[in-house]
Structure 1
Amino acid sequence: MPAHHPLSDPQPRPEAAATDLTLDARLVLGEHQSVDVPVRLAYRGDDPFAVTLEFLGHATEAGTWHFARELLWEGLHRPTGLGDVRIWPPCTCHARTSLRVMLRNQADIALLDLPTRQIRRWLRRESFALVPQGTEHTLIDWATEFDDLTG
C-alpha cells in the first residue's frame, strides 16, 4: 500500500480537476555538458495514477511521456523504475542536487535533471491535494474499465 502523505486530505477533492508545473530542466548530453529545456509536468484527477511530462519550446520533438505519479514520488527518495522511465534522487556523492529522469524509447535515451525542491513541493501541495496517495483507485470506474477490456 502506498504511503499516505501527511499533508493530504483523507478523500479526493473532485472540485479540483488538474494541476501542472512548468520547469527549466537540464538535458544531459555528456558528463560535463547539458542544455536547458523547458518541460511541463501535469496531473489530472480523471487519470489519477499518471503524471505527464511534456517537452516544450524547441524540444517538443522529444514528445510527451506518461508515467506513474508514484514513480515520481518514490524517485525523490530512492532509485526507482524499470523499462522506459527510471528516476534517481539527488546524489550528494556526485554533487548532483537534481532529480535525474531517464526516458527511453526504442531508438533514443534522454537524461533529464529536474529541480528536486519544485517537484517535491508540487507533488505535496497540488497533486496530492487533488488526489491523496492511496486513494487513486476510488476515482476509477472499474465497471467501465472492465467493459472496455472485455469489449
Structure 2
Amino acid sequence: MPAHHTVSSPQPRPKATSTDLTLDARLVLGEHESVDIPVRFGYRSDDPLAVALEFLGPAAEAGTWRFSRDLLWEGLQRPAGLGDVRIWPPCTCHGRPSLRIMLRNRDDVTLIDLPSHQVRRWLRHKAFTLVPQGSEDTLINWTAELHGLTR
C-alpha cells in the first residue's frame, strides 16, 4: 500500500491589527523658536518592522515618514540613527526634556520635539503588545517579499 502524504497548507495569517498615537509636537524653527504641530505615530502588525510618523494639519505637506520601530525605541534610550532619520533622547542637562527626531530629505531638514513619556508608553503598551520585539519576522510573508524584489 503506498504511503499517504498530506501537504499542510500554510496557516492563515492573523488579521492585521494597528495602533496609533496622536500628539502635539514642537516643530523646531530655530534655536529659540518653535511651533506646535499635530502628528500621529502609527504601527501595523502587517508591517511589523516599521512605524509611520504622519504630519497632520498645517504641517501635512511634510507627509508621512516610515522608519524602524527599533530605531524609535533605541532613540528613547540614546542617540540613534544614521542618514535620513536620527533620534535623540531627552537631554535635561541641555534643557531639552523631549524626544527629538531629525528628518532629512534632499532639500530639507526637519526637527521635531515630542513628549518622550507618551511615545515610550505607546511603544511599550501598544506597539510591543501587538508584536513583541524579536518576533517581527514571524509576521513577514518572506515569499511575497522575495517575489517583489525579483520582479
- TM exceeds 0.5? yes
Q: Distance in 1 between matches of 2:98 and 2:22?
A: 16
Q: Tell me, which stretches of 5 or more residues in structure 1 are unaligned?
A: 1-13
Spell out structure 1 runs of 4+ moving beyond 2 A.
none
Give the letter aligned to residue 143 of structure 2. A
* C-alpha distance after superposition, 1:32-51 (max 9, x if no partner): 11000000000000000000
TM, length-normalised to structure 2: 0.89
Aligned to 2:99: 99
Q: Tell me, which stretches of 5 or more residues in structure 2 are unaligned?
A: 1-13
Q: Distance in 1 between matches of 2:146 and 2:62?
A: 33
Identity of aligned residues (%): 70
Aligned to 2:80: 80
Aligned to 1:49: 49
Give the letter aligned to residue 40 of structure 1. R
CA-CA distance at 1:89 after TM superposition: 0.3
Note if 1:89 corresponds to 2:66: no
The answer to whether the 8 A contact 1:16-1:130 is kept is no
CA-CA distance at 1:144 after TM superposition: 1.5
1:103 counterpart SS class = strand
1:39 counterpart SS class = strand
Q: Distance in 2 between matches of 1:144 and 1:122?
A: 30
Q: Distance in 2 between matches of 1:21 and 1:139?
A: 22
Residues 5-24 of structure 1 correspond to what in structure 2 (within 5 A)? 14=14, 17-24=17-24
In terms of Rg, which structure is larger? 2
